[in-house]
A and B are shown apart, each in its own frame.
Chain A
Amino acid sequence: MKEISSPLNKDDVLKLKAGDIVYVTGEILTARDKAHIRILEFLQEGKELPFELNCRIIYHCGPLMKKEGEWVAVSAGPTTSARMNASTKKILEKIDCIGIIGKGGMDEEVVRALNGKGIYLAYTGGAGALAAKAIKRVRGVHWEDLGMAEAVWVLEVEKFGPCIVGIDAHGNSLYSEISKRVEENFKNIISKI
Chain B
Amino acid sequence: MEYDDVKSTIVELFRKAETELGEDVIKAIKKAYEIEENEIAKNQLKTILDNIDAAKKLKVPICQDTGLPIVFVELGRELCLDFDLKKAIIEGVKLATKEIPLRPNAVDPLTRENPGNNVGLHVPQINIDFVEGDKLKLTVMPKGAGSENTSALKMMLPSQVNEIPKFVVEVVKNAFGKPCPPIFVGVGIGSTFDGSAKLAKKALLRDVTVMDEYELRMLEAINDLGIGPMGLGGKTTALAVLVEKGYCHTASLPVAVNIQCWANRRASKVLG
Contact = CB atoms under 8 A, between A and B. Distances in A.
Asked if A pairs with B, the answer is: yes
A129 B221 contact: no
A82 B165 CA distance: 26
A74 B61 contact: yes
Interface stretch (A7-15, A42-50, A92-100, A180-188): A180-188
A79 B65 contact: yes
A174 interface: yes
B225 A189 contact: yes
B261 A125 contact: yes
Interface stretch (B6-14, B44-52, B83-91, B203-211): B44-52
B224 interface: yes
Contact of A189 (B54, B224, B262): B224
B51 A178 contact: no
B148 to A, nearest CB: 11
Interface in B106-156: 114, 116, 144, 146, 149
B269 interface: no
A175 B181 CA distance: 14
B47 A130 contact: yes
Interface stretch (B74-82, B171-179, B192-200): B171-179
Interface string A65-81: 01000000011110110
Contact of A74 (B101, B104, B261): B101
A152 interface: no
Interface string B198-235: 00000000000000000001100100111111111100
Number of contact residues on B: which range applies? 35 or more
Most buried by A among B50, B60, B176: B60
A130 B104 contact: no
Contact of A129 (B54, B218, B261, B262): B54
Contact of A178 (B116, B165, B166, B226): B226
Given A75-B66, A104-B176, A126-B262, A190 B54 contact: no
A161 B116 CA distance: 30
Contact of A66 (B101, B165, B166): B101
Contacts of B5: none
Contacts of B218: 193
Interface string A162-193: 10101000000011001101110110111011
B35 interface: no
A19 interface: yes
Contact of A166 (B102, B146, B232): B232
Contacts of A122: 230, 232
Contacts of B71: none
Interface stretch (A56-64, A111-119, A136-144): A56-64
Given A21-B43, A64-B66, A162-B43, A189 B230 contact: no
Contacts of A104: 146, 176-178, 180, 230-231
Closest 6 pairs (CB-CB, A-B): A125-B180, A129-B55, A127-B51, A104-B177, A124-B47, A128-B64
Interface of A: 19, 21, 61-64, 66, 74-77, 79-80, 82, 103-105, 122, 124-133, 147-149, 162, 164, 166, 174-175, 178-179, 181-183, 185-186, 188-190, 192-193
12 contacts: A66-B101, A80-B149, A104-B177, A104-B178, A124-B47, A126-B48, A127-B50, A128-B63, A129-B62, A183-B173, A186-B169, A186-B170
